[in-house]
Amino acid sequence: MKRLRPDFALISEWIAQGSRVLDLGCGEGTLLRHLRDTRGVSGYGLEIDDANVVRCLENCVDVIQSDLDDGLADFFDDASFDYVVMTQTLQAMRRPDRLLEEMVRVGREGIVTFPNMGYWKNRLQLAVAGHMPVSRALPYTWYDTPNIHLCTLQDFERLCDEKGLRILQRTVVDAGHREQALAAVRPNLLSEIAVYRFTRA
C-alpha cells in the first residue's frame, strides 16, 4: 500500500523509552526500526504484503506475516504490549471497530493515524466539484482504493465513545504531518490527518 510520509517524531514522542510496541500494518518496518534505534523499544510488526515482509527482515525488524482482518487473537494475549500502533491502515480494514477493540485488548494504549474525510478540501471536492476526494492524503480513485472505511474525526470519536475507548491525546496535522495551529481550532474541518492515542475507558 502506498504510504504517506509518516511523521515518526510525532508518534515516538508519545512512546515511552524501552516500551514494547506492536505495529499493525508495519510496512517495511521503518517506524519500529526508528523506535528501536531512538527509544530502545522492542516489538514486532504485523504485515500482510510479501515484499514488505522481506524488507522488514532486511531492516532487522521482527515481522509476523498476517492479515489484520483476521484479528490478533491467533498471536497475542491480552495486555502483552505497552502500545499498539497503526498508521494509515484503519481505513483499509474490513471492521475497523473490531480492530480498535483488539488494539486495546492487546496493548495498554492504542495509537492510530488516519486521513480525515471531514477535511475542508475533501468536503469541497465532494460538495462543489461533485466527485470523491483525491488528495495527497487520499491518493486513490474511488474504484481502486484500499480505503474502504473512510471517516471524519467526529465519526472516529463517536465510535470511541460507543466502544468505551478513552481518547488520551489527539493531534491533527496536514498531509506532510506538520502540526497546524489553526487546525486545533476546528479540527474536523481543518486537519488532513488525525493522530489519536487512546485506551480502554
Point out which residues bind other proteins (CB under 8 A): 44, 50, 53-54, 56-58, 60, 62-66, 74-77, 80
Given the complex with other proteins, which of 25 and 133 has the nearer CB atom?
A: 25
Beta carbon of residue 137, minimum distance to other proteins (angstroms, whole number) = 31
Given the complex with other proteins, which of 9 and 60 has the nearer CB atom?
A: 60
Cα 178 off chain centre by: 16
Given the complex with other proteins, which of 44 and 198 has the nearer CB atom?
A: 44
Given the complex with other proteins, which of 74 and 162 has the nearer CB atom?
A: 74
Beta carbon of residue 149, minimum distance to other proteins (angstroms, whole number) = 25
Beta carbon of residue 75, minimum distance to other proteins (angstroms, whole number) = 5
DSSP 9-78: HHHHHHS-TT-EEEEET-TTSHHHHHHHHHH--EEEEEE--HHHHHHHHHTT--EEE--GGG-STTT--T
Residue 125 is classified by DSSP as I
Supply 66's cell numbers. Answer: 498476517
By three-state DSSP, how is residue 137 classified? coil
Do 30 and 6 form a contact (C-beta atoms < 8 A)?
yes
User: Helix 153-163 crosses helix 96-106 at what angle (to 10 degrees)?
Assistant: 60
Beta carbon of residue 123, minimum distance to other proteins (angstroms, whole number) = 40
